Amino acid sequence: MIKVLPIFSSVESQVDFSKYELQFKALADQKRLQIMYELTQKGSVCVCDLVDIVNMPQSKLSYHLKILLDANLITKETKGTWSYYELNHEEVNRLLSPELCCIFRKSENQSSGCCS
């Protein structure tokens, strides 16, 4: 039995960038960065409050929250009819430089590690 190997016309990338594409897409929007920033400042926020904080119609906010959630940049906890969203610091730290993480860190916690 002869195995026919696929022939590539050029060097193929060894790294799978699809996960990063998804995450950078989520970050690639000022509105979503602001949502992340507000979650940083306020900790855990429910959608009904976030609507006023970021001044967005509910369905629009829901759309953007979903994109951030799918990218694992925020987490969600449901309590009754309320949904509380929080920043996923672990994932943000995994992705962004200390300098940038800093933006998504409350001032009282900025002494730990980064934000020199």
Counting contacts by CB under 7 A, is residue 71 touching DNA?
A: no
Which segment (3-11, 78-86, 94-102, 104-112) binds DNA by CB under 7 A?
78-86
Closer Cβ to DNA, 24 or 98, answer by number: 24
According to CB under 8 A, which one of 1, 5, 7, 55 is a site residue for its own copies? 55
How many residues make contact with its own copies (CB under 8 A)? Answer: 33
- What is the DSSP code (8-state) at residue 7? P
CB of 1: closest distance to its own copies in angstroms?
30
Judged on CB neighbours under 10 Å (0-12, 13-18, 19+), 50 is buried
Q: Write down the residue that tokens 């730990």 correspond to.
A: 112
Q: 102 contacts which partner out of DNA, its own copies, none, CB within 5 to 8 A by kind?
A: none
What are the angstrom distances between the C-alpha of 105 and each of 19, 27, 28, 42, 57?
23, 16, 19, 11, 26
